Amino acid sequence: MRNMEQAFRKLVEIVKELRGKNGCPWDKKQTIASLTKYLQEEFDELMLAISNNDLANLCEEAGDMMFLLVMVAEINSENASFAITDVLDNINEKLIRRHPHVFAGVQIDDEEALKKQWLAIKAEEKPKRN
């Protein structure tokens, strides 16, 4: 198995090249809005693979979704809105923040307490986003 960081970096570089000066005309013309239908199609295919327990197809569809998500990040990077590193930093921080029972030594005794903690953290985050 290859190094995960190398594999992810290669995907980002491929997307940059596809959208670059000598890239693919289809990829270069895509916008966030134009990608929404493809995101929905790939999501539906991903869900179908999951419901069919089709692991080979699930791997492919997960890759298709990842490609589109990297495209979204790349388009936003080109527009100076955010970059893929911002996306990754945001989700990493959110996961750590929302799982203090894993990353901060908070004791959770049952699933109901876990749900209450999760909802409280989400409620605390909401005013910061708006």
What would the pLDDT profile of 54-106 be if each residue is shown by its tens digit? Answer: 999 999 999 999 999 999 999 999 999 999 999 999 999 999 999 999 999 98
Residue 28 domain flag: yes
Of residues 64, 68, 128, the one with CA closest to residue 94: 128
The whole-number pLDDT of residue 4 equals 93
The whole-number pLDDT of residue 127 equals 77
Domain that holds residue 61: 4-81
What would the pLDDT profile of 100-113 be if each residue is shown by its tens digit? Answer: 999 999 899 899 99
The whole-number pLDDT of residue 22 equals 96
Residue 125 domain flag: no
CATH number at residue 16: 1.10.287.1080
> What pTM value is reported for the model?
0.87
Q: Phi/psi of residue 124, each to 5°?
A: -65, -35
Exposed/middle/buried for 72, CB within 10 Å: 0-12, 13-18, 19+? buried
Residue 1 has pLDDT above 60, yes or no: no
The domain tally of the chain equals: 1
